[in-house]
Amino acid sequence: MKTKIQKWGNSLGVRLPKSIAEQKSLREGLGVSVVIKDGQIVIEPAQEDVTLESLLADVLIDNLHNETEWSDARGNEIW
């Protein structure tokens, strides 16, 4: 698939087609690593450091669930 390099401020950018972004689960704001391997420009999703704080940052009132009652205690659980 062909695309064009475009100027964005002082940098250059390449738009990725939607089909490629979907295949690789790329989304806006996701960090990527750009490297040269064997003379080719390679763009890969960056490995993000997962921390408790980063996971909890996605918990909002809109997606917060209440406790769920699964069954009565069956062993030595203390409720």
Residue 79: pLDDT band (50, 70, 90) is: low
Which domains, and CATH codes, for the chain?
Answer: 5-63 (2.10.260.10)
Residue 42: its H or E element: strand 40-45
What is the spatial distance between Cα 32 and Cα 47, in angstroms, rounded to a whole number?
8
Max CA separation in the chain (angstroms): 65
- Hey, what are 77's tokens? 């659980």
Question: Is-above-0.75 flag for pTM?
Answer: no
Per the DSSP assignment, residues forming a β-bridge with 13 are: 6
Q: What are 8-42's pLDDT values in tens digits?
A: 999 999 999 999 999 988 888 888 899 999 999 99
Q: What are 45-60's pLDDT values in tens digits?
A: 888 778 898 889 889 9
